[in-house]
Amino acid sequence: MTRLHDPVGDFDVDRVRTDFPLLARSVHDKPLVYFDSANTAQKPRAVIEAVDRYYREFNANVARAVHQLGEEATAAYESARDKLARLLNAPSRDEIVLTSGTTQAINLVAYSWALPRLGPGDTILVTTMEHHANIVPWQLVCERTGARLKVAPIDERGELIVEKFIEALTPDVKLAAVAHVSNVLGTINPVAELARATRKRGIPLLVDGSQAAPHFAVDVRALGCDFYAMTGHKLFGPTGTGALWARREILREMPPFFGGGEMIREVRFDGTTYAEPPHRFEAGTPNIAGFVGLAAAIDYLGALDHAGVAAHEADLLAHATDALRALPGVRLIGEAAHKVPVISFLVEGAHAHDLATLLDHEGIAVRSGHHCAHPLMQFYGVPATLRASLAFYNTHAEVERFVAALARVRKLLA
């Protein structure tokens, strides 16, 4: 039964929408319905203004200038590390490596942690529902080391089969890598339960958190994982920002990934020594403006009514799911019990790209394609899906418009 109540508690979606300037625009002369937040989220004014202020008022490089601007830029940039540490409940800010996103975070673990450790006979365990960013780096490691990749299966509903994952944790497994939330199915994986199983066997667990933090609080201590990768642009922050959290003792054992400025202790032609983590992994001038913006995004999210956001997103998910189910010819892909508002589906007799194009002409932005998850598409035996991915700034009226438009455009293709 669909529940419809805007606003929920202190969470007023109409007020929140005014914080996101882009949501007020039209597309093809229709008011925009933005249902592609799992791809990248829109940015609140606070983020846009923080980036603007950085360039107008304190643009300087970080960690090298003693002048006032340099100090201001460094303080603002480093505040993102503090805020990310708090956001993830990390034990220490020094366990947060700032990266360009999840992709760089996972590659850092692949090249710096896995590559020197793995060899023939070793295995990396992933799941069927992973994004290519949590598959291909491990395949590259396997190609170079002779290790192999093993896949823990999911069921038709799009839920990880936990018993099979645990069964797959054989002594040859040197690392397990799972999505916290699937970008295609919306499934929330039981990471704490998986981490209990990996820890018992001494196997490090990497979690791809790209799609989790935009929807609920993440607590790496409570999860009990060893690596947590995330991306800023899905968290309402700028593109080219993200982080890797890893336990301090693990980071300390990892050699540098990129070499250059800012990651050294002393450079000599007869031998260079490296900075302590996290700076050891942050060579070169970073995306300073981006992290200033991400810090503002985290502050913005922190001030929202979290219970209200969760209730609103659950209502949107229930509403959209029920309405899609009621449309003839719609097949939902991913019906896990625990989901974020990310809904993949197919419409009988219509290609996903054609539908997405027609929906775009109605002002509705959804994604069509394989969503960087080829193996998951292969599991469902489809080349592509349509994906409506919602955020707290979406409304029930937008869900109604989307479903009505889908019903209309579907007839055009039938």
Closer to ligand PLP by Cβ: residue 107 or 198: 107
Residue recorded with tokens 């590559």 = 115
Closer to ligand PLP by Cβ: residue 183 or 395: 183
Determine the 3-state secondary structure of 211 from DSSP.
Answer: coil
Closer to ligand PLP by Cβ: residue 133 or 355: 133
Cis peptide before 91 (omega within 30 of 0): no
142 is catalytic: no
Q: How far is the CB of 187 from ligand PLP (least distance, A)?
A: 11
Considering only 103, 187, 189, 344, the residue that binds ligand PLP (CB under 6 A) is 103
Residue recorded with tokens 């060893």 = 226
Choices 64-72, 208-216, 350-358, 396-404 (CB under 6 A): range interacting with ligand PLP: 208-216
DSSP conformation class of 21: G
Choices 100-108, 119-127, 274-282, 304-312 (CB under 6 A): range interacting with ligand PLP: 100-108
Q: Which of 136, 304, 310, 372 is catalytic?
A: 372
- What is the footprint of ligand PLP within residues 58-87 (CB under 6 A)? none
Closer to ligand PLP by Cβ: residue 131 or 410: 131
Cis peptide before 278 (omega within 30 of 0): yes
- Torsion angles phi and psi, residue 97, rounded to 5: -95, 125
Cis peptide before 255 (omega within 30 of 0): no
- What is the footprint of ligand PLP within residues 121-150 (CB under 6 A)? 131, 133-134
Tokens of 329: 């010819």
Considering only 102, 123, 145, 394, the residue that binds ligand PLP (CB under 6 A) is 102
Asked if 395 interacts with ligand PLP (CB under 6 A), we say no
Asked if residue 141 lies in contact with residue 113, where contact means CB atoms within 8 angstroms, the answer is no
Considering only 123, 127, 187, 211, the residue that binds ligand PLP (CB under 6 A) is 211
Choices 26-34, 58-66, 204-212, 403-411 (CB under 6 A): range interacting with ligand PLP: 204-212
Determine the 3-state secondary structure of 170 from DSSP.
Answer: coil
Rounded CA-CA distance 244/68 in Å is 29
Choices 4-12, 98-106, 258-266, 348-356 (CB under 6 A): range interacting with ligand PLP: 98-106
Rounded CA-CA distance 373/130 in Å is 6
Rounded CA-CA distance 244/254 in Å is 13
Q: How far is the CB of 242 from ligand PLP (least distance, A)?
A: 6
Q: How far is the CB of 379 from ligand PLP (least distance, A)?
A: 16
Residue recorded with tokens 């069964």 = 167
Asked if 183 interacts with ligand PLP (CB under 6 A), we say yes
Asked if 210 interacts with ligand PLP (CB under 6 A), we say yes
Q: How far is the CB of 106 from ligand PLP (least distance, A)?
A: 7
Beta bridge partners of 125: 150, 176
Rounded CA-CA distance 3/396 in Å is 10
Rounded CA-CA distance 375/260 in Å is 36
With CA atoms as reference, report the closest residue to 14 among 295, 298, 297, 308. 308
Considering only 51, 114, 151, 179, the residue that binds ligand PLP (CB under 6 A) is 179
Asked if 101 interacts with ligand PLP (CB under 6 A), we say yes
Tokens of 70: 């340099």
Rounded CA-CA distance 242/48 in Å is 17
Asked if 231 interacts with ligand PLP (CB under 6 A), we say yes
Q: What are the residues binding ligand PLP (CB under 6 A)?
A: 101-103, 131, 133-134, 179, 183, 208, 210-211, 231, 233, 372
Q: Give the catalytic positions in this structure.
A: 372
